[in-house]
């Protein structure tokens, strides 16, 4: 039996996201899921003790979020935000107890998505995922005032209250790319690119004087992080809701170590890219995964 755990009192642009729908691309279903995988997986690790599970979260893309808590739940917020639990500051990257009758307030305080998770929440799913896919329209709509988050008591999550993540420095410098077309890569990497538009389906970039290829190709498979070069002299970096096939030349694919950084860009900002060997990309991703797990702790273990 499920009951209301929390009610949306105020919201800007926010959707429900989990780990997405991997494994269904061959039947035309995008992966979708959390845009900033690192922040999402951190929320899973803190609240459920496992970064690799698929756990529902609220992905806040713009504006403020207020949740009225109807039952005692554990809450975790990851990403750059000013958060409050009633009149008290709610530490981000920390599992806290939110008692029935309290108000959780989230205000974005930096670039990229924010993730808010509450224990016991069980949203409805489509094809094994509750993710809202803004491109294919799978999953539910964006959250609205009055929406109720249904679920049940999760004793295991309540026992994780107090777990926290030690702060880390966000990476900087050029976004690293595994080149696919070496003929295009040299001129592409040599330029500065301005962020024109952003969406979960893809980030559109422009560079002054860039012409690039003016041809279209027969449709072929693509994946999140693929950088397509259009006849309109744009570069499009596909996001989690992006199409599964493309008809434009692909200069390369953003390495997973830097893919989250695409979600933290802002229209009008600038970005540069640099080449990264495929083997080095895999090795760096493994190192980053191990490092994240070492940053989780509980006060009782600190002595």
Same-domain status, 160 and 219: no
Identify the pLDDT of residue 253.
Answer: 96
Same-domain status, 199 and 54: no
Q: Indicate whether 1 pLDDT > 60.
A: no
pLDDT in tens, 14-41: 999 999 999 888 888 889 999 999 999 9
- Of 165, 183, 213, which residue sits at a domain end? 165
The answer for 120, left when phi > 0, alpha when psi is -120 to 50, beta otherwise, is left
Q: Indicate whether 302 pLDDT > 60.
A: no
pLDDT in tens, 97-139: 999 999 999 999 999 999 999 999 999 999 999 999 988 889 9
Q: How confident is the model at residue 167 (pLDDT cuts 50, 70, 90)?
A: confident
Q: Indicate whether 218 pLDDT > 90.
A: no
Same-domain status, 153 and 201: no
Q: How confident is the model at residue 299 (pLDDT cuts 50, 70, 90)?
A: confident
Give the mean pLDDT of the chain.
Answer: 92
Q: Domain for residue 297, yes or no? A: no
Same-domain status, 116 and 250: no
Q: How confident is the model at residue 301 (pLDDT cuts 50, 70, 90)?
A: low
Count how many domains the chain has.
2
Same-domain status, 140 and 51: yes
Instruction: Name the residue range of residue 188's domain.
Output: 175-291
Encoded tokens for 297: 């702790």
Cα(219)–Cα(246) distance, integer angstroms: 5
Mean pLDDT of 217-222: 88
The SS3 call for residue 217 is coil
Identify the pLDDT of residue 242.
Answer: 92
- Of 134, 165, 196, which residue sits at a domain end? 165
**Percent of the chain's residues with pLDDT above 70:** 98
* Count of CB atoms situated within 10 Å of the CB of 259: 22
Identify the pLDDT of residue 214.
Answer: 76
Give the β-pairing of 81-85 and 88-89. antiparallel
Same-domain status, 117 and 180: no
Q: Indicate whether 252 pLDDT > 70.
A: yes
The separation between the first and the last C-alpha atoms of the chain, rounded to the nearest angstrom, is 40
Same-domain status, 46 and 94: yes
Identify the pLDDT of residue 2.
Answer: 66
Q: Domain for residue 303, yes or no? A: no
Yes or no: say if 56 and 119 are a contact pair by the CB < 8 Å rule: no
- Of 136, 165, 194, which residue sits at a domain end? 165
Same-domain status, 134 and 12: yes
Same-domain status, 196 and 126: no
């Amino acid at each position: 039996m499920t009951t209301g755990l929390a009610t949306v009192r105020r919201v800007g642009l926010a959707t429900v996201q989990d780990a997405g729908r991997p494994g269904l691309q061959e039947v035309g279903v995008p992966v979708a899921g959390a845009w900033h995988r690192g922040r999402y997986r951190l929320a899973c690790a803190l609240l459920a003790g496992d970064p690799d599970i698929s756990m529902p979260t609220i992905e806040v893309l713009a504006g403020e979020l207020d949740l009225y808590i109807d039952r005692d739940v554990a809450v975790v917020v990851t990403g750059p935000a000013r958060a409050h639990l009633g009149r008290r500051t709610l530490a981000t990257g920390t599992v806290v107890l939110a008692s029935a009758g309290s108000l959780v307030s989230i205000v974005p305080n930096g670039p990229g998505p924010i993730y808010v998770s509450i224990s016991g929440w069980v949203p409805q799913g489509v094809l094994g995922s509750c993710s809202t896919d803004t491109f294919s329209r799978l999953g539910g709509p964006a959250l609205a005032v009055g929406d109720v988050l249904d679920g049940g008591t999760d004793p295991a999550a309540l026992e994780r209250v107090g777990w926290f993540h030690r702060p880390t420095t966000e990476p900087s410098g050029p976004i690293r790319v595994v080149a696919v077309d070496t003929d295009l890569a040299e001129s592409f990497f040599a330029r500065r690119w301005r962020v024109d538009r952003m969406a979960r389906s893809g980030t559109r970039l422009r560079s002054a004087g860039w012409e690039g290829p003016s041809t279209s190709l027969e449709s072929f498979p693509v994946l999140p992080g693929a950088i397509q070069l259009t006849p309109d002299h744009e570069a499009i970096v596909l996001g989690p809701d992006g199409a599964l096939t493309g008809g434009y030349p692909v200069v390369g694919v953003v390495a997973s170590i830097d893919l989250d950084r695409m979600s933290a860009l802002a229209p009008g900002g600038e970005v540069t890219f640099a080449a990264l060997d495929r083997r080095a990309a895999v090795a760096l991703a493994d190192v980053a995964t191990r490092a994240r797990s070492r940053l989780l702790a509980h006060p009782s273990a600190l002595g």
